Amino acid sequence: MLTKARKALKNKQIYKKAKTFLFGNNVKSGVLYKVIIYLLLAAIGFIYLYPVLYMLSNSFKSPSDIINPMVNWIPTAFYFGNYQRAFRVLNYFPTLGKSLLVTLVPALLQTAITSVIGYGFARFDFKFKKPLFVIVLLTFIIPPQAYMIPRYVMFFEMKLLENPLAIILPSLFGQGLNSAIFILIFYQFFRMIPRHLLEAAEIDGAGTYYIFFRMAVPLSAPAYITSFLFSLVWYWNETYISSLFLGTAFPNLQIALANFVSQYQQMYQSDAIKLNEGIRLAATLLIILPMLIVYFALQRWFVEGIERTGITGE
């Protein structure tokens, strides 16, 4: 009788232990729970990346693989013909150079200028500071369409259309792509620097600009890196302004992709291989490749940057 009760108790303990192991308790989560989370993340992750994987797989398929229904994910042989053609149609390296010019330069300028503006708002009390800051934030939600047409006319009259300066100039004045976000990031970041640190330097006789360049800027390196990377990526992927101001006369990679079909037909008019999805996807991959490299080299700065810059607000 007693042994039976003891056995039942033991069974109960085993059951309880197993339950904790699988489902977790108040302190830590169980294995089954974790497995489910992993499966969920893996499944959603796969669907999420499906377009990229599809692009990768199809860009290496030869024309016969593409029409062959038996070939699914893995091509029968790695075929580089698609890339060769896409490379030539896009006129890759010269176009890449143009892209870098209208991406790197405004991104660098925007980061530098918005940091100066952000510092001004974070450190000094001047007249109309609050309303001006509200206007800065409001510029983020005003759709660009409302001011793009006159800007276009303005650049037309200044003879700056189809000229990279049309993209670069606004960033020089803190009016670049999403400038408001960067001003906010720098504002938040500079406010996190302990005030007494900068005040101590002031008492020691350091000038305002000395303090900014020699103390605040070096202390804020993470904000600079994150802002620059976001600016770079946003400028790279921006096509509304660049197609309006640069057009086909100064095509960057994105514009070249948008015109890929007609350009291909022009170049390979009498060719045996008609434009297929393999070639188009190879071209698409070539467009995203430079930023993919940047991302995989520096991804920590992207994903951790958002937390570190304190944009989520205190």
Residue ranges in 92-131 that form contacts with other proteins under rule CB under 8 A: 113, 116-117, 119-121, 123-127, 129
Kindly give, in sequence order, each residue whose CB lies less than 8 Å from that of residue 305, ignoring residues fewer than 6 positions away: 222, 225, 226, 229, 230
Task: Decide if residue 15 touches other proteins (CB under 8 A).
Answer: no
Residue 108 or 291 having the CB closest to other proteins: 291
Query: Which of 4, 300 has the CB closer to other proteins?
Result: 300
Which CB, 11 or 68, lies closer to other proteins? 68
Q: Which residue has the tokens 């974790």?
A: 34
DSSP 163: S
Taking CB under 8 A as the rule, does residue 220 contact other proteins? no
Question: Is residue 236 involved in binding other proteins (CB under 8 A)?
Answer: yes
What is the closest distance, in whole angstroms, from the C-beta atom of residue 81 to other proteins in the complex?
A: 18
Q: What is the nearest approach in angstroms of other proteins to the Cβ of residue 32?
A: 13
Q: Report, in this order, helix, strand and coil percent for the chain, each rounded to 5.
A: 75, 0, 25
Alpha helices, H only, 24-62: 31-59
Tell me the C-alpha distance between 215 and 221, whole Å.
11
Q: What's the min distance (Å) between Cβ of 170 and other proteins? A: 5
Furthest C-alpha separation in the chain: 102
First and final C-alpha spacing in the chain:
64
CB of 83 to other proteins, least distance (A): 15
User: What is the smallest separation between the CB atom of 80 and other proteins, expressed in angstroms?
Assistant: 19
Residue type, 2: L
Contact flag: residue 292 with other proteins (CB under 8 A): yes
Using alpha carbons only, what angle is made at residue 174 by residues 172 and 175, rounded to the nearest 5 degrees? Answer: 100
Q: Please give the residues from 137 up to 176 whose contact with other proteins meets the rule CB under 8 A.
A: 139-154, 157, 169-170, 172-175
Half-sphere exposure of 263 (CA within 13 A, CB side): 19
Should residue 77 be labelled a site residue for other proteins when binding is judged by CB under 8 A? no
Q: Number of residues in contact with other proteins, rule: CB under 8 A?
A: 90
